Structure 1
Amino acid sequence: MFTDVKDTDVYDYRKSKEERYGTYMRELRRKDHSIKKSVRTALGYLDIYIYYPKELKTNIVYFNAHGGGMCLSNFELDMPYCQKICDAIGCIVVNVDYFVAPEYKFPKTYTSMYEMIKYCNEHRDEFAFGDAKFVIGGNSAGGQISAAVIQLEKQDHEDFIKGLVLNYAPCDQHIDQTKVIDQQKAISPSRIHQYQAWEYNDASEIEDPLSSIVNSDPRIYPPTLENTAELDSLRAGEEQFAEMLQKQGTYVDYKCYSGCQHGFTHQELHEYNAEASEDAWKRIEAFLKKLAKNEGRK
Structure 2
Amino acid sequence: MFPTIIAKLLRLYSNQSKTTPMIPQQKVKIKKDVLVETSVGPTSISFYYPLATKQKKLPLYINFHGGAFIMNDKELDDPYCRYLANQAECIVLNVEYGKAPEYPFPKAIEQGYDIFQWVKGRAEELGIEAEKVMVGGQSSGGNIAAALCLYLEEKGERQPLLQVLSCPMLDFVTPHAEKPEPGWWRSRFPKVAHFIHRCYVPGKGQAGHLLASPVRADVSGRLASALILIAESDAFRLEAECYAEKLKAAGVNVQEELFRGCSHAFTHLGPKERAEEAWQMIAGKIKAVAESPLY
TM-score (norm 1): 0.87
Q: CA deviation at 1:293?
A: 2.2
Q: CA deviation at 1:128?
A: 2.0
For residues 24-71 of structure 1, what are the alpha-carbon distances to aligned partners after superposition, in whole Å with 9 as ceiling and x for unaligned? 89xx99x88521012211121111100011333684200000000111
Aligned ranges 1:167-246 → 2 under 5 Å: 167-173=166-172, 174-175=174-175, 177=177, 180=180, 182-184=182-184, 188-219=189-220, 220-246=222-248
Look up the match of 1:257.
259
Aligned-partner residue type, residue 232 of structure 1: D
Look up the match of 1:159.
158
C-alpha spacing 1:247/1:13, structure 2 compared with 1 (3 Å): same
Please, what is the CA RMSD of the aligned residues? 2.6
Contact 1:135–1:163 (Cα < 8 Å) also in 2: yes
Q: Identify the range of structure 1 (180-189 vs 118-127) with the bigger mean alpha-carbon deviation.
A: 180-189
How many residues end up aligned between the 2 structures? 286
Q: CA deviation at 1:7?
A: 3.0
Contact 1:65–1:138 (Cα < 8 Å) also in 2: yes
Structure 1: gaps spanning 5 or more residues: none
Aligned equivalent of 1:38, options 32, 35, 38: 35
TM-score (norm 2): 0.88
Aligned-partner residue type, residue 288 of structure 1: I
Aligned-partner residue type, residue 284 of structure 1: I
Contact 2:164–2:228 (Cα < 8 Å) also in 1: yes
SS of 1:148 mapped into structure 2: helix
Q: Distance in 2 between matches of 1:135 and 1:22?
A: 24
Aligned ranges 1:1-298 → 2 under 5 Å: 6-17=3-14, 20=16, 34-56=31-53, 59-131=58-130, 133-173=132-172, 174-175=174-175, 177=177, 180=180, 182-184=182-184, 188-219=189-220, 220-266=222-268, 269=269, 272-294=270-292
Aligned-partner residue type, residue 48 of structure 1: I
SS of 1:149 mapped into structure 2: helix
Contact 2:135–2:163 (Cα < 8 Å) also in 1: yes
Q: Extract structure 1 runs of 4+ deviating beyond 4 A.
A: 20-25, 175-179, 185-188
Q: Distance in 1 between matches of 2:244 and 2:179?
A: 17
Q: Distance in 2 between matches of 1:178 and 1:154?
A: 31
Q: Distance in 2 between matches of 1:282 and 1:295?
A: 22
Structure 2: gaps spanning 5 or more residues: none
Contact 2:14–2:72 (Cα < 8 Å) also in 1: no
Q: Distance in 1 between matches of 2:255 and 2:209?
A: 25
